[in-house]
Chains A and B, each alone.
Chain A
């Protein structure tokens, strides 16, 4: 099925550094979501964005819904070892409808 273009595929950073990842799509979405998945677990919702241009924070995480509705980015500030995992973006066209997932960004944080 259709997937979003998520980049980078992987990142290796030092503890304390900031991280940025983004997703782009050829078609618009009306909701953008960011999930984190730990090994052997299901994805956990980090941030949900419902309005074009919206900038939302959740602790050290900040995400923005692009004004064109075709992209979104996620920033993690002052990374810590427990930030390790796979981050997925997901776009949703209408409320309650299926999600279209990005390929994921594998984040490794070196202490």
Chain B
């Protein structure tokens, strides 16, 4: 099956810093989603982005399907951005390994 790898596995940022999270997938995919999992386990939709670039406030994402990767950009990070970020590739849904982000004041 498809393999989905995320990097870095762990990231510590000072509040206000910018970061880029990467998601690599081993085969072509039809769809890709980014999620933020809060400390209570809820997966919150960030982006549904099979290709191209989208922006939502301080967050943006880019998927280059032909090169099998997606990037999630977080600008001006806040402590509330802390948690685990997952990308998920479809159709037989495969989640990545996750990036655990901690933003410190």
Tell me if chain B binds chain A: no
